[in-house]
């Protein structure tokens, strides 16, 4: 193909987008709708994942000791827990330190409430703060620590083992569900918009059958006939995905800003500048949908 011919194809393809007016608009809108939903899902999954990651790191086990546990037993228990292969770190938190931490976490409001408590009437038990290598092992490790009461049946050193029971499991489930539903949804939508485009192009081809017939008559190769349509589909995909990415990023940026400034929510969305690659992916996808849609629709018409 000569350079001039290539330019001609680009020009013709671009002209066709305008010439077909509302059909092009319909295709572009269908791409916007499906890519937009895809984009929302991607953003959702990314943020839930990030949230889950953060929560993972914060997962720790607290094992509270019975009040009758003496120092020797306490050290034995600590050693036994530290020896568990899943455990990465264990810290002892004395009841005094526990009270101090509690005070801090209550802030100004709780100051009065805890005023009456000091070294002598501290109601809190001693505790261990345990961290594990793998967040999924948390429930298992917790059980193992509880089981220490069985091996030290006489002393019963463990009063209670606590961890974010339920929260983590739910979070994992939600992440997985969002991801799966999202993929099914998105695959369906991508397929739908592809067919919409192929349909649009088919309608325009039907309208231009005569023109194609004349092109063939004067000896145009199929490749030559196909190119402008291909350019047209690609442009429709590109325009659709550019609009979508713009809407998504501006909208997300606003949302992230408003969420970030709202202290009561205690959370923040991933910053926009970490998401450019996903924007790029949407662009590529839009273009591919456009190309594929065209290819689907012309093939049939080029058989003589």
In the complex with another protein, the residue whose CB is nearer, 114 or 207, is 207
Decide if residue 209 touches another protein (CB under 8 A): no
Q: Count Cβ atoms below 10 Å from residue 148 Cβ, excluding itself.
A: 19
Helices 222-261 and 167-207 pack at an angle, to 10 degrees, of 150
In the complex with another protein, the residue whose CB is nearer, 188 or 213, is 213
In the complex with another protein, the residue whose CB is nearer, 11 or 57, is 11
Least distance in angstroms from the C-beta of 229 to another protein: 15
Decide if residue 136 touches another protein (CB under 8 A): no
Exposed / middle / buried, residue 86 (Cβ in 10 Å: 0-12, 13-18, 19+): middle
In the complex with another protein, the residue whose CB is nearer, 263 or 304, is 304
In the complex with another protein, the residue whose CB is nearer, 217 or 263, is 217
Binding-site member from 218, 261, 264, 277 for another protein (CB under 8 A): 218
Maximal C-alpha separation, the chain = 103
Interaction pattern, residues 60-99, with another protein; x per rule: CB under 8 A: ----------------------------------------
Q: What is the spatial distance between Cα 80 and Cα 63, in angstroms, rounded to a whole number? A: 13
Decide if residue 21 touches another protein (CB under 8 A): no
Least distance in angstroms from the C-beta of 304 to another protein: 7
Quick one: which segment of 4-12, 86-94, 134-142, 154-162 binds another protein (CB under 8 A)? 4-12
Decide if residue 220 touches another protein (CB under 8 A): yes
Decide if residue 107 touches another protein (CB under 8 A): no
Question: What is the total residue count of the chain?
Answer: 304
CB neighbour burial string for 153-175, b if at least 16 within 10 angstroms, e if fewer: eebebbbebebbeeebeebeeeb
Decide if residue 219 touches another protein (CB under 8 A): yes
Q: What is the spatial distance between Cα 24 and Cα 275, in angstroms, rounded to a whole number? A: 29
Q: What is the spatial distance between Cα 274 and Cα 284, in angstroms, rounded to a whole number? A: 18
Which phi and psi angles does 277 have, rounded to 5°?
-60, -30
Pairing of strands 87-93, 158-162: unpaired
Residues forming contacts to another protein in the complex (CB under 8 A) are: 1-2, 4-5, 8, 210-211, 213-222, 224, 304
């Amino acid at each position: 193909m000569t350079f001039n011919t290539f330019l001609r194809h680009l020009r013709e393809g671009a002209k066709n987008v305008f010439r077909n007016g509302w059909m092009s608009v319909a295709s572009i809108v269908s791409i916007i709708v499906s890519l937009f939903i895809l984009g929302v899902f991607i953003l959702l999954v990314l943020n839930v994942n990030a949230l889950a990651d953060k929560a993972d790191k914060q997962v720790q086990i607290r094992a509270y000791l019975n009040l009758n546990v003496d120092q020797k037993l306490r050290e034995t228990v600590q050693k036994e827990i530290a020896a568990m292969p899943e455990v990465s770190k264990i810290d002892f938190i004395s009841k005094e330190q526990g009270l101090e931490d509690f005070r801090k976490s209550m802030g100004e409001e709780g100051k009065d409430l805890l005023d009456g408590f000091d070294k002598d009437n501290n109601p809190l038990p001693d505790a261990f703060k345990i961290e594990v290598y793998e967040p999924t092992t948390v429930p298992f490790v917790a059980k193992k620590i509880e089981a220490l009461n069985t091996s030290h049946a006489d002393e019963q050193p463990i009063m209670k083992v606590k961890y974010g029971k339920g929260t983590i499991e739910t979070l994992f489930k939600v992440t997985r569900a969002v991801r799966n539903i999202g993929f099914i949804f998105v695959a369906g939508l991508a397929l739908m918009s592809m067919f919409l485009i192929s349909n649009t192009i088919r309608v325009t081809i039907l309208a231009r059958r005569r023109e194609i017939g004349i092109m063939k008559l004067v000896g145009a190769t199929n490749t030559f006939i196909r190119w402008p349509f291909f350019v047209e589909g690609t442009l429709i995909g590109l325009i659709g995905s550019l609009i979508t990415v713009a809407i998504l990023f501006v909208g997300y940026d606003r949302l992230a800003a408003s969420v970030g400034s709202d202290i009561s929510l205690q959370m923040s969305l991933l910053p926009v500048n970490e998401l450019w690659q996903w924007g790029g992916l949407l662009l590529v996808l839009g273009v591919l949908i456009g190309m594929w849609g065209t290819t689907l629709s012309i093939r049939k018409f080029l058989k003589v």
